[in-house]
Structures are given as C-alpha cells and as structure tokens.
C-alpha cells in the first residue's frame, strides 16, 4: 500500500479534538490499545497531531468510511499536483513508485474495476479452497523442520515462509525463491514506517527494482511457454478485448506477495501469542472447521495485522461536522475499530467463542482484500496443525512488536513445546 500523507496543513482544529501518540515510541507501538481505549472513552473521531490528519476509531465509522465513495486511495485522477501542492515524485524512488502505480490497493474506478475483474477469478473461495491440501502439507513440512529442536522463532520458521511459498507457487514461481521474495518484501514494506529515512527509501527502491527484474524474466518465460499458474492467467485474461500490461501484472504480483504475506504472517504470530496468553486450552479451539474459522476470525479482530488505512477526500465535503478539503487525508483505524466496546462485548478480551464476532481487518468496499479467502484458509490451517502437532506449545521469551505501527506484527515469537 502506498504511504498516503497529508499534503496541506489542517487548520483551526479545536484543542479538545486533538490527540497525540508518537508511532515511533516503543511504549505506543508495543501496546497501541491503551491509546485506543482512551479514544473510545472520549471521542473516536480525533485529529492525530503526529500524522496531521483526522482519524476515525469507531467500528461503525470505519466500516462505513471503507465503503464511502467520497473517499479514495488515489487523488490525482480528480486533481493536479499543482492544485494539491503535491511535490514532484522522488527520483530515487522511481522503481518503488512504479510497483505502486498499478496496485489494486491504490487504484480507483474505472482502473480498479478493470484490474480486479481480470485478477479476481483466481482468488474466489471455491478456487482457493482447492489449495487446502497443499497448505496442510506445507504446514506439516515446516513443523517437521523444527519439531526436533528445543526452541524456535515461530515467525521465521513457520509464520513467514508458509504464505510466501503458497503465493509464490500460485504465481508459478519456485518455492525455493520464497526467501528472496521475502527479503524484497520486507525491505519494501519498511516504506510504510512513520518518518521514513532517505536510506530506507533507497533500500526499498533497490528491492523494488530487483523484484521487477526477477518478475520480468518470469513474464518473458510465460509468454514463450504458458503454464497453469496465476502469472499466466494474469497475462492471458481478457475483458472486452483488453489484457493487463506487463507493469500491471508486476504490480499485482508484488502486491499479492507484500500485502498478503505481511498480513498473514502478522496474524499468525499475533494469533498464536493471543491463544497462548489467553489461558484457553488450544484443544478446544479446533474441534471443528467452524470453530477453527471462528478462532481465526477472533485472532484477526483481537490483534489486527494492519492498524491504519488511509483515504483521500475526493472533493470538499463535511463529515460528522468536520470540514474536509479535496486532497485531505483521513485515517481509518482498523485495529481500534476491532476493539470498539460499542460494538463488541468485552472488546479487550480474546474470546474465540464470542457470538458478536466481526472485524474490519480485511477492509471493506471495493478495496476489500482480494486475498482474504486464501488468508483465511492459511490461518485456519496454520493454527489447527500447529496446535495439533505441538499441544504443549508455550511462549519462551516475552514477544516484542516491530517498529512499524501500520503493520502490527512481532519481531519474533520464541516458543517451546517439550
């Protein structure tokens, strides 16, 4: 996802509507929920000083705004850079920007509609359900690889490789390429940190260029020799005689790995941590497919992998008494919405048996996560197989979260099971 930033200062914000929390402060990103609790107790609509834009933390608000067509992920289709005071693109991030240019996550209709229609067929539930046996096999192969050890970092050994290998195989790339793809993904995702440094921008750009070079070779091979894989599907799919360009295919492939992989890795790590810290017997959580699915959904709600998703106001408008100008940014706080006490009973309690389960972790509206059906299967399988194989699993070291507020996930998760 592109980093959307407020282009012009927002003026005349009443002091009582402002809140402050430094996204780079370990006390904050290790536990943002204390901040969210204060928002829910006062006003879930607030101006976040550090970001310089309005934010919404209520479940009802966030769910509605994700579907509100007055806001969008891109702005230059309705305004010029000059009109918005937007600086010229940075020369040293050209490769990274090119990977974002045709990203499904950033496009608005009609470009978004065309691209999503051409890609969507590969991710419908009935199609990805056919991958369940392969995901189960892979989960067990990964567990086989570390089961004989006394202690392991579950993120590195299990949570990270599983979704990367699955999406690589879907695209038609080798499973052996997964570590290389993960390296590029991790370096590119660093661009979404608050206050990105020049060195981080350079490194992310290098990773983006290497990723595109690799995919260009794969695309050239598919044009000569098509296969039964997602890369070939994207190159040959047609709608009204139109096909995706190589740049669109590359952007989509990179998005599928970066966004899908990051969210699934973090939900797996955060979810295992939530289960183990809850005191609930894991054996009770996977007694049926329905309960396994409910447990995965509660993991998505309780400790979400993505905590803020931003939108541009596409015109001058008023929302809940707030005057917004065209180009103003709003922050939709997914992690806070998932803990809204107005929507969930005992919102701060991990309860896989709750009857009021729901979450906005995959978004909503036209930008609802295209990979959600696949991610849900991966999570259900990951949790079920892990706790089936390692029933005595426990945390060996106090987990710490990464310093990337938007992407809320653990640096590592050291576990034991003997």
Q: What percent of the chain has pLDDT over 90?
A: 74
Percent helix, strand and coil across the chain, each rounded to 5?
50, 10, 35
Which structural domains are found in the chain, ordered by start?
15-416 (1.10.630.10)
Cβ contact 6:328 at 8 Å:
yes
Which is nearest to 356 in space by CA: 370, 371, 341? Answer: 341
Tokens of 309: 């998703």
Q: What is the pLDDT of residues 187-233, one digit of tens each?
A: 998 887 778 889 999 999 999 999 999 999 999 999 999 998 889 98
Question: What are phi and psi for residue 399, nearest 5 degrees?
Answer: -70, 150
Hey, how many other C-beta atoms are within 10 angstroms of the C-beta on 30?
13
Separation of alpha carbons 283 and 392, rounded Å: 10
pTM above 0.85, yes or no: yes
Q: How far apart are the first and last CA of the chain?
A: 40
pLDDT score recorded for residue 86? 87
Helix (H/G/I), strand (E/B), else coil: 204 = helix
Name the residue with tokens 């595109």: 212
Query: Tens digit of pLDDT for each residue in 232-288?
Result: 988 988 877 888 889 999 999 998 888 778 889 999 999 999 999 999 999 999 999
Q: What is the DSSP string of 162-201?
A: HHHHHHHHHHT--GGGHHHHHHHHHHHHGGGSTT--HHHH
Question: In terms of C-beta distances under 8 Å and separation of at least 24 residues, what long-range contacts does 308-312 make, across chains too?
Answer: 308/55, 308/332, 308/333, 308/334, 308/335, 308/405, 308/406, 309/1, 309/66, 309/334, 309/363, 310/4, 310/53, 311/4, 311/65, 311/71, 311/72, 311/73, 312/4, 312/71, 312/72, 312/73, 312/74, 312/75
| Residue 218 contacts residue 173 (beta carbons within 8 Å) | yes
Phi-psi region of 321 (alpha: psi -120 to 50; beta: other; left: phi over 0): left
Q: What is the pLDDT of residues 21-69, one digit of tens each?
A: 999 999 999 999 999 999 999 999 999 999 999 999 999 999 999 999 9
Percent of the chain at pLDDT exceeding 70: 99
Q: What is the pLDDT of residues 283-334, one digit of tens each?
A: 999 999 999 999 999 999 999 999 999 999 999 999 999 999 999 999 999 9
């Amino acid at each position: 996802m592109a980093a959307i930033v407020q282009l012009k200062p927002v003026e005349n914000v009443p002091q009582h509507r402002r809140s402050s929390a430094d996204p780079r402060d370990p006390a904050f990103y290790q536990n943002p929920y204390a901040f969210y609790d204060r928002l829910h107790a006062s006003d879930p609509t607030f101006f976040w000083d550090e970001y310089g834009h309005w934010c919404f933390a209520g479940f009802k608000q966030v769910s509605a705004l994700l579907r509100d067509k007055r806001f969008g992920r891109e702005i230059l289709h309705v305004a010029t850079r000059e009109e918005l005071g937007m600086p010229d693109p940075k020369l040293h991030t050209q490769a990274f920007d090119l990977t974002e240019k045709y990203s499904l996550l950033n496009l608005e209709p009609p470009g978004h509609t065309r691209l999503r229609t051409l890609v969507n067929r590969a991710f419908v539930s009935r199609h990805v359900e056919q991958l369940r046996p392969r995901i189960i096999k892979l989960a067990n192969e990964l567990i086989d690889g570390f089961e004989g050890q006394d202690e392991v970092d579950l993120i590195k050994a299990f949570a990270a490789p599983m979704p990367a290998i699955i999406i690589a195989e879907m695209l038609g790339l080798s499973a052996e390429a997964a570590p290389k793809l993960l390296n590029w993904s991790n370096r590119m995702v660093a661009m979404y940190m608050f206050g990105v440094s020049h060195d981080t921008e350079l490194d992310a750009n290098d990773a983006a260029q290497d990723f595109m070079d690799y995919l260009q070779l794969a695309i050239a091979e598919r044009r000569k020799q098509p296969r039964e894989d997602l890369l070939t599907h994207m190159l040959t799919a047609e709608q009204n005689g139109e096909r995706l360009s190589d740049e669109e295919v590359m952007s989509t492939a990179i998005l599928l790995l970066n966004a899908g992989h990051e969210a699934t890795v973090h939900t797996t790590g955060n979810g295992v941590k939530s289960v183990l810290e809850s005191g609930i017997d894991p054996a009770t959580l996977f007694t049926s497919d329905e309960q396994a699915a409910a447990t995965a959904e509660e993991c998505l709600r309780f400790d979400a992998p993505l905590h803020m998703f931003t939108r541009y106001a596409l015109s001058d408008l008023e929302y809940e008494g707030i005057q917004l100008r065209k180009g103003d940014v709003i922050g939709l706080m997914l992690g806070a919405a998932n803990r809204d006490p107005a929507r969930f009973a005992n919102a701060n309690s991990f309860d896989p048996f709750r009857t009021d389960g729901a979450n906005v972790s995959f978004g909503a509206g036209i930008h609802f996560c295209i990979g959600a059906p696949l991610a849900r299967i991966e999570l259900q399988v990951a949790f079920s197989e892990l706790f089936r194989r390692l029933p005595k699993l426990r945390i060996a070291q106090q987990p710490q979260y990464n310093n990337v507020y938007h992407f809320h996930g653990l640096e590592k998760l050291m576990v034991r099971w003997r």
